[in-house]
Amino acid sequence: MSGLSWMDVAGSNDAAQDPNGWPAEEQLLEGLNPAQRKAVVHGGGPLLILAGAGSGKTRVITRRIAWLAARGGVGLDGICAITFTNKAAREMRERVETLLPTRGSWISTFHAMCARILRRDVETLGFEDGTRYTRDFSIYDTADRNSLIKRIVKDLGYDTTRFRPAQVGAWISEQKNLARRGEGEDSLVEGIEHEVLRRVGERYQETLRAANAVDFDDLLLLVLELFDRHPGVRDSYATRFRHVLVDEYQDTNHVQYLLTRHLASAHGNLAVCGDPDQSIYAWRGADIRNILDFERDFPGAEVVRLEQNYRSTQAILDAAQAVIRHNSQRKEKELYTEGEAGEPLGLLECGDENEEADQIALRIAKLRSEGFGYGDLAIFYRVNFMQRALERGLRLAGIPYRIAGGVEFYQRKEIKDLVSYLKLIVNPDDDVAFLRVVNVPARGIGDRSLELLSGWAADRRVSLLRAAASSEARSQIRGRAKKGLEAFAGLMENLRDFAGRSASEALEALLEETDYLTWVVQSSEENAETREENIEEFRANAETFDSDDPEGGLRAFLEDIALVSEVDSLGEGEDAEGRVTLMTVHAAKGLEFPVVFLPGLEEELFPHFRAVMDEAGVGLEEERRLMYVGLTRAMKRLFLSWARTRTHFGQSSWREPSRFLRELPQDLAAESEPDEVDLLGAYDDREAGAGLGEGDWVMHEHFGRGQVERLRGSGVNARATVRFPSAGTKTLLLQYAKLTKLGAGS
């Protein structure tokens, strides 16, 4: 993956600075184009920065923060800057810190900011039943949420295959946010199913509160409730933040919109940055109206358009703009580059998804010969089922690849175990953490014993760990389980003192007390080495966190882990630079690659079937924005492909090319047949498959016996189209296919 070509760099050390070490104004504005400068030096009042793809918006935001702190008379702690991933927030903080001789910023994600506010003020917020959260609350990620929901569904006597935890969790999340908007419940869920979901949702929220735990939705909703019910708390933050900046404003939902208004209510200095053409998260609540209606919501707002692109060639920009112009819900802008015009887009029509994957592999081989590395290349797909055929094509060609968004580091079993232990040290009421680790390593505590313990705890409204520490509760349990619970309660009591210590100190104590590392090595022979390496990496992460934030401690470390998103982990995998990246188009937002492939450009696939069926056209506009995002990730080269037939759920169907292809100007794309010279390079057909001829019978290790129908290419790109009676027609790279020629008459 390529680094940002316009990466912000602090000015020269020789640049003029004032005696206090603050950078001079010319240093803060160095290298900015006129539109970027205008956005940076905007004085006060509402500001809308319409930032086209690749226009250097992160640079503008960080320079604006630095300019306000150094030249605008605002202390860094008086500026609140909000973005959507920890990775983006971390990069923003690092850039600001290279420009300013001070720290102490409020640069974070919405969720991290709200967690910080709740750590300070959540105890102000009591509830009707007399309960209240404490500052040691746990944050449940999606896996924790689903684990809790699964337990609740079972406890209520319902079928977890019918009421799947992930789907129930999504419904609960939706209802929380609909309620905050003042909208009714989902009318599509009715009857007994609705009643079950309602009961599970109520029990889920009750259990969360009893466990002193919040989920991602609660982080934002509780702060909103805090601000609504306690205006004094809201005013303390609104007065403190003289300037509020929000990045990726097109991705905000209604709750985030309300939070933003609260934070900017005292001074009115709100600057938002975003691009309506890149609003692709409506399915998770993002409301494009927030950015489209900004000038109506904040009268007198200044609008600055960042239209100079520093990423892509003009050919790529023209193609993207030709597509997005067909949308009506947008604000007009015209992207341009002072860089190269670039090559036309490559278009490829294929017979089916397997041929499409093979042709992408062939093009990758050609790009390698042109000097591109595997890490420069990415393949984006609209839906996950496309991944299988693409992987097959890359494997057959011997091309190394990685799947972005696979099993995330913090979701690996051994890491999840250790995190649950650490959570329990800080918050003894966290029942989800308790249930995960009470028998890890094994302590002979079975399901029946846990049922008895849970019943005792529920009757007395105490947590499972507090129940385990009670001799009265343990008296109902016999044998090894009783001793195991007593030992576990004693272990957690010994570790409780580390709640206020550093992350690395707590982790080392945990590993020593539980002997967890030895247990992992002994209980997982097949992948013991990998799991041990993961634990060592986790140790290193804790040490790094302590070094970066000496005052943070274990609580802050756990909060940081809980708020890591999928996007934050992209690009950090092992040997990422030496592999082709495969990911969904949604996951690609915010990234860039020298070369991008977009396969599967077919009606009802991209655009998706649901969008095509949407009579209002709202879904289709979102699909077109998604296409725009995919196109604008490419820096140098862009290849688009589609198949005449595609198999899904075992059914093969004829496909129609995507309407997005028809929206491309003809002069921007070069269409080619799979085996045409202009797509695959100049090959001498006579050299293809030395020793093989069309009509020959061959044997393949996976597909079995087949007959050669066509030979093309030479050298590393030599390929054969072979008809296999048991597997259909395949196009194979001869360098990797390992075909064995069979004798005559075979």
- Write out the catalytic residue numbers: 57-58, 247-248, 278, 633
Nearest to 238 by CA among 221, 254, 260, 219: 260
Phi and psi dihedrals of 601, rounded to 5?
A: -80, 80
**105 annotated as belonging to a binding site for a ligand:** no
Query: How many Cα atoms sit within 13 Å of 104 on the Cβ side?
Result: 9
**H runs (alpha helix) in 461-608:** 464-468, 471-474, 479-495, 503-514, 516-523, 528-548, 553-562, 566-569, 585-588
Distance (Å, whole) CA 618 – CA 625: 11
**Beta-bridge mates of residue 16:** none
- The letter for the amino acid at 57 is K
Contact present, 259 and 220 (Cβ < 8 Å): yes
Contact present, 39 and 64 (Cβ < 8 Å): yes
**444 annotated as belonging to a binding site for a ligand:** no
Number of C-beta neighbours around residue 691 at 10 A: 8
Contact present, 180 and 221 (Cβ < 8 Å): yes
Distance (Å, whole) CA 210 – CA 309: 51
**E-strand stretches of 224-376:** 243-246, 270-274, 302-306, 345-350
Contact present, 590 and 567 (Cβ < 8 Å): yes
**55 annotated as belonging to a binding site for a ligand:** yes
Phi and psi dihedrals of 657, rounded to 5?
A: -55, 145
- The letter for the amino acid at 265 is S
Direct distance between the N- and C-terminal alpha carbons of the chain, in angstroms, rounded to an integer:
48
Per-residue tokens: 599: 């396969």
**51 annotated as belonging to a binding site for a ligand:** yes
Beta pairing, strands 106-109 & 79-83:
parallel
Query: How many Cα atoms sit within 13 Å of 333 on the Cβ side?
Result: 26
Q: Mapping DSSP to helix (H, G, I), strand (E, B) and coil, where does residue 463 land? A: coil
Contact present, 7 and 592 (Cβ < 8 Å): no
Per-residue tokens: 6: 């316009």
**645 annotated as belonging to a binding site for a ligand:** no
Nearest to 706 by CA among 678, 676, 672, 732: 732
Q: 187 CB contacts (<8 Å, ≥6 apart)?
A: none
Give the H or E element holding residue 459. Answer: helix 447-460
**578 annotated as belonging to a binding site for a ligand:** no
**57 annotated as belonging to a binding site for a ligand:** yes
Phi and psi dihedrals of 455, rounded to 5?
A: -65, -45
- CA distance to 341, 408, 447, 573, per residue, from 422 (Å): 54, 19, 23, 25
Per-residue tokens: 200: 């599970």
Q: Which residues are annotated as a binding site for ATP?
A: 51-58
Q: Which residues are annotated as a binding site?
A: 51-58
